Amino acid sequence: MDKPYGLLAELTYACPLKCGYCSNPLQLDDYRDELGTEEWKRVFAEAADLGVLQLHLSGGEPLQRHDIVELVRSANRLGLYTNLITSGLGLSRSRAAELREAGLDHVQLSIQSDEQPLSDHIAGTPSFARKQVVAKQVKDLGWPLTLNVVLHRLNIDRIAGIIAMAEAMNADRIELANTQYAGWAGINQPELLPSRGQLDHAEVVVREARERLEGSMEIIYVIPDYYSDYPKPCMDGWAARQFTVVPNGDALPCPAAHELAVGHGIPSANVREHSLGWIWDQAPLFQAFRGDSWMPDPCRSCERKEIDFGGCRCQAFALTGDAARTDPVCHLSPDHGLIEAAVATANDPGRPAGGILIPRATIGRPNRAMTVQ
């Protein structure tokens, strides 16, 4: 069995934004009992002992935690590479300086669009102007800046403007990734999936920008897998390289695995009850789809099973109700018609332009001592 190299710590599901593409779970209230500062520090220490090198601090909005500086400092002392994944809201100049001093290595700032009205519409709250300020602060403090843009039907036509904005911000890297349909993005999938024409336009823009910006800004572009013949090797395979700990301490092989665990009656494994080492080696949820013994045909006899591992277990569960089926994205899957139907809907010429997303719910702030008021 491989050892994990990455830990995604979803510190809180509190968030000032309400993005309809959010992959957080729908039942946000189930995660109000957040791990405390000392519990997270223990998790980080156990992760480092297991060989984890990269710690991604996310949420919700991780800056909602009042102890974020202390958590970064403890991870830094353990030798972990720390990456803050943030909307930027809550990153004042003084807090940014504290995080820098505590050893935070990298900042990944989410961007919704290059235009204020659309950006604030997608985020469900005024945030565009603040992000401009935060991008400058990040560069002023000497951090590498990655912009993280979830692409979808509402913003993909703005891709040229978004790249131009990234250039103006002096970003080192921009990740333009089409939405993964988990959590809130799952219920909004029909409004999020772009048309083929939109994708064709985006690919031309990205190709031109990559040539022009080679050596100055790295551009990652991920198409929606609904338009691929084969699925992505999601998470590099189930419980193979990474794991996630969510705000209440449940440990998951991927951030979206809550739903299939509940759906299949697989017990959760919580860091309050078990060590990370035991969870990685023995927890039933981590064992469930490790390796290839769970695979049905066509995956079982397919030469690509070492390449894509049968695709995404969460997507298989969300679309078929059975996480042990071949990812329907694969054109060899018996369920591929589900994907073809969604793609046909996205390309229906009679479809009105501009859909309305169901906004991600907000949750009250549990453990008030944990969060910034």
Which of the residues 303 through 332 are near ligand SF4 (CB under 6 A)?
304-305, 308, 310-311, 326-327, 330, 332
Q: How far apart (Å, rounded) are the C-alpha atoms in residues 253 and 239?
A: 5
Give the residue with the Cβ less far from ligand FES, 134 or 252: 252
Rule CB under 6 A: choose which of 257, 269, 285, 319 binds ligand FES: 257
> How many chain residues bind ligand SF4 (CB under 6 A)?
14
Single out the residue of 317, 304, 202, 200 nearest to residue 258, CA to CA.
317
Q: Taking CB within 5 to 8 Å according to partner kind, which of ligand FES, ligand SF4, none is near residue 182?
A: ligand FES
Q: Taking CB within 5 to 8 Å according to partner kind, which of ligand SF4, ligand FES, none is near residue 326?
A: ligand SF4
Based on the shown chain and the rule CB under 6 A, indicate whether residue 313 belongs to the binding site for ligand FES: yes
Give the residue with the Cβ less far from ligand FES, 13 or 317: 317
Which of the residues 192 through 231 are near ligand SF4 (CB under 6 A)?
230-231
Rule CB under 6 A: choose which of 50, 295, 314, 339 binds ligand FES: 314
Q: How far apart (Å, rounded) are the C-alpha atoms in residues 323 and 335?
A: 12
State in angstroms the smallest separation of the CB of 330 from ligand SF4: 3
**Tokens describing residue 14:** 């509190």
Instruction: Note whether 63 and 89 are within 8 A (CB).
Output: yes
Number of H helices, E strands in the chain: 15, 10
Give the residue with the Cβ less far from ligand FES, 122 or 254: 254
Based on the shown chain and the rule CB under 6 A, indicate whether residue 302 belongs to the binding site for ligand SF4: yes
Q: Taking CB within 5 to 8 Å according to partner kind, which of ligand SF4, ligand FES, none is near residue 254?
A: ligand FES
Q: How far apart (Å, rounded) are the C-alpha atoms in residues 217 and 258?
A: 35
What DSSP string runs through 174-228?
EEEEEPP--THHHHTHHHHPPPHHHHHHHHHHHHHHHHHHTTT-EEEEE--GGGS
The tokens 């297991």 sit on which residue? 50
Instruction: Note whether 17 and 126 are within 8 A (CB).
Output: no
State in angstroms the smallest separation of the CB of 234 from ligand FES: 3
Which of the residues 331 through 360 are near ligand SF4 (CB under 6 A)?
332
Rule CB under 6 A: choose which of 199, 217, 299, 363 binds ligand SF4: 299
State in angstroms the smallest separation of the CB of 319 from ligand SF4: 13
Rule CB under 6 A: choose which of 72, 217, 235, 276 binds ligand FES: 235
**Tokens describing residue 351:** 């479809």
Strands 269-270 and 250-252: antiparallel
> How many chain residues bind ligand FES (CB under 6 A)?
9
Rule CB under 6 A: choose which of 145, 256, 339, 346 binds ligand FES: 256
Q: How far apart (Å, rounded) are the C-alpha atoms in residues 163 and 75?
A: 32
Rule CB under 6 A: choose which of 182, 217, 261, 285 binds ligand FES: 182
Q: How far apart (Å, rounded) are the C-alpha atoms in residues 365 and 373?
A: 8
Helix (H) or strand (E) holding 270: strand 269-270
Positions in the binding site for ligand FES (CB under 6 A): 182, 234-235, 254, 256-257, 312-314
